[in-house]
Amino acid sequence: MDNTNHDLIHTLSVRLDTRWHHQTYEDEVNCPGCRRIFERLKELDDEAIGLLAGELAEHVHSGRFSAGPLERV
> What distance in Å separates the CA atoms of residue 4 and residue 8, rounded to the nearest whole number?
6
- pLDDT bin (cut points 50, 70, 90) of residue 62 is very high
What is the residue-wise DSSP string for 6-55?
HHHHHHHHHHHHHHHHHHHHHHH---HHHHHHHHHHHHHHHHHHHHHHHH
Q: Tens digits of per-residue pLDDT, 27-56?
A: 899 999 999 999 999 999 999 999 999 999
Please state, in angstroms and as integers, the Cα–Cα distance from residue 7 to each residue in 18, 34, 55, 62, 67, following that order.
16, 31, 12, 18, 13
pTM, two decimal places: 0.80
